[in-house]
């Protein structure tokens, strides 16, 4: 996978708490083990007015022209709660998002995001209020996300975010769980050679 260092783009505001993985990608669409093809079903129950996804809901944030091609999704507390399905970050990334900024994110969802190069950022409720206000007053405002410096910049404002060092390095290097193991390939090979001699 390609590593993540920086991202710049518009943000789409989804001002709601406790958005669960079944809303992000409903269970009837979990039909593949590949990571692509889920974006069209993202937030199915909210984006569409019909079951066959032919009629968009004009009231929903992601169907509005002013928020199209957004790369950052803003939300509230406990984003990604519910099941542990990895399809949720797959759908968000396939739709075009590279970063989720919320008041808080569910633990398993957070880990799944890290493993799939979708940067999850938790910021305080007061800061989230400011970010929603930025987008509300100017939908075209650009968010600049810098992972190495752990900053979110919007207009004249800059906000620091926390991320565990190992998560940060895995994102920068583009490593999922398998990649992290392969990062120790030489050490593993050396151990196996010694083990063969012992046996």
Domain ranges of the chain: 6-198
Backbone angles phi, psi at 47, to 5 degrees: -80, -25
Does position 191 have pLDDT exceeding 60, yes or no?
Answer: no
Does position 184 have pLDDT exceeding 60, yes or no?
Answer: no
- Residue 34: pLDDT band with limits 50, 70, 90: confident
User: Average of pLDDT values for 170-195?
Assistant: 65
CATH 3.20.19.10 fits 6-198, yes or no: yes
**What pTM, to 2 d.p., does this model score?**
0.87
Pairing state between β 143-146 and 6-9? antiparallel
Cβ pair 42, 95 in contact under 8 A? yes
pLDDT in tens, 42-86: 999 999 999 999 999 999 999 999 999 999 999 999 999 998 889
Six token digits for residue 177: 């769980």
Six token digits for residue 161: 């975010």
Six token digits for residue 12: 């789409």
User: Average of pLDDT values for 149-154?
Assistant: 98
């Amino acid at each position: 996978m390609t590593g993540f260092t920086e991202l710049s783009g518009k943000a789409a505001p989804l001002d709601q708490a406790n958005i669960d993985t079944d809303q992000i990608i409903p269970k009837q669409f979990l039909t593949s083990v590949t990571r692509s093809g889920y974006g069209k079903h993202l937030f199915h129950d909210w984006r569409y007015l019909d079951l066959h996804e032919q009629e968009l809901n004009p009231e929903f944030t992601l169907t509005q022209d002013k928020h199209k091609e957004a790369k950052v999704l803003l939300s509230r507390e406990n984003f990604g709660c519910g099941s542990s399905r990895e399809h949720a970050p797959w759908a968000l990334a396939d739709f075009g998002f590279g970063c989720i900024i919320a008041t808080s994110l569910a633990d398993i969802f957070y880990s799944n995001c890290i493993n799939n190069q979708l940067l999850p950022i938790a910021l305080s409720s007061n800061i989230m209020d400011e970010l929603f206000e930025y987008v509300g007053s100017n939908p075209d405002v650009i968010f600049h996300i810098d992972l190495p410096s752990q900053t979110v910049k919007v207009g004249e404002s800059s906000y620091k975010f926390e991320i565990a060092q190992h998560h940060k390095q895995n994102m920068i290097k583009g490593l999922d769980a398998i990649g992290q193991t392969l990062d120790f390939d030489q050490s593993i090979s050396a151990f196996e050679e010694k083990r063969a001699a012992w046996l």
